[in-house]
Amino acid sequence: MEIAIISDTHIPSRAQAIPEPFRERITAVDHVIHAGDFDSKGALADIQDLAPELTAVAGNMDPHVGLPDVTTVELGGVEFVVTHGTGSPRGYEQRVADAVREHADSESAVGVAGHTHELLDTARDGIRLLNPGSVTAASPASEATMMAATAETGELSVTVHEA
């Protein structure tokens, strides 16, 4: 199972479009996870058109897009708990780890969040946390980033891509 993990598009308030190389990656995978801050219904519709399958949550900039704050999805034997991570930078990792514990069905669930626009692949209290940064380099990000993941029989490998 090939997965694109993206977040923080912020279209149109901070960016105009997802970079073409990322658009190509998004259409080529089996599933896309978006950790919120689309910024508009148009940005959400664009991702829905690109993604073969989409799991997405609302971010703090998405009050009217009709997505949940937290959701889970199982892909390739890996359970993902997706949330935006809204709040202060202080306590961010703990907040995301707490969401994983609260919503996961498995002990080995992976947390996916955005909000900070900073790449993150770390463990907190034994929970793997992923933040793909901003797919459009929306401020305060210095470059556009996303993650590509392969999930197979419960194993997960993640690669960072920059545009």
**Which residues contact residue 96 at a Cβ distance below 8 angstroms, ignoring those fewer than 6 apart?**
83, 85, 111, 113, 124, 129
Query: Which pLDDT belongs to residue 11?
Result: 97
pLDDT of residue 29: 98
**Cβ neighbours of residue 133 closer than 8 Å, sequence gap 6 or more:** 7, 8, 117, 118, 119, 141, 143, 144, 145, 146
Helix (H) or strand (E) holding 56: strand 54-56
C-alpha 12/C-alpha 56 separation (Å) is 18
Residue 76 DSSP symbol:
T
What is the model's pLDDT at position 95?
97
Report how far residue 91's alpha carbon sits from residue 149's, in angstroms, rounded to the nearest whole number: 26
Convert the pLDDT of each residue in 64-109 to its tens digit: 999 999 999 999 999 999 999 999 999 999 999 999 999 999 989 9
Please name which of 26, 38, 96 lies closest in space to residue 67, comparing C-alpha atoms: 38
Contacts for 41 with CB less than 8 Å, ≥ 6 apart:
64, 65
Beta-strand runs (E) in 57-163 = 70-75, 78-83, 110-112, 119-124, 127-132, 145-152, 155-162
| Least confident stretch, 30-34, 61-65, 80-84, 129-133 | 61-65
Mean pLDDT of the chain: 97
Residue 115's pLDDT is what? 98
**Average pLDDT for 154-162:** 97
**pLDDT (0 to 100) of residue 12:** 96
pLDDT of residue 39: 96
Using 50, 70 and 90 to split pLDDT, how confident is the model at 130?
Answer: very high
**Mean local confidence (pLDDT), 34-50:** 97
What are the chain's domains?
2-162 (3.60.21.10)
pLDDT cut 90: percent of the chain above it: 98
pLDDT of residue 19: 97
Grouping H, G, I as helix, E, B as strand and the rest as coil, residue 98 is: helix
Q: What is the pLDDT of residue 68?
A: 98
Mean pLDDT over residues 123-151, rounded? 97
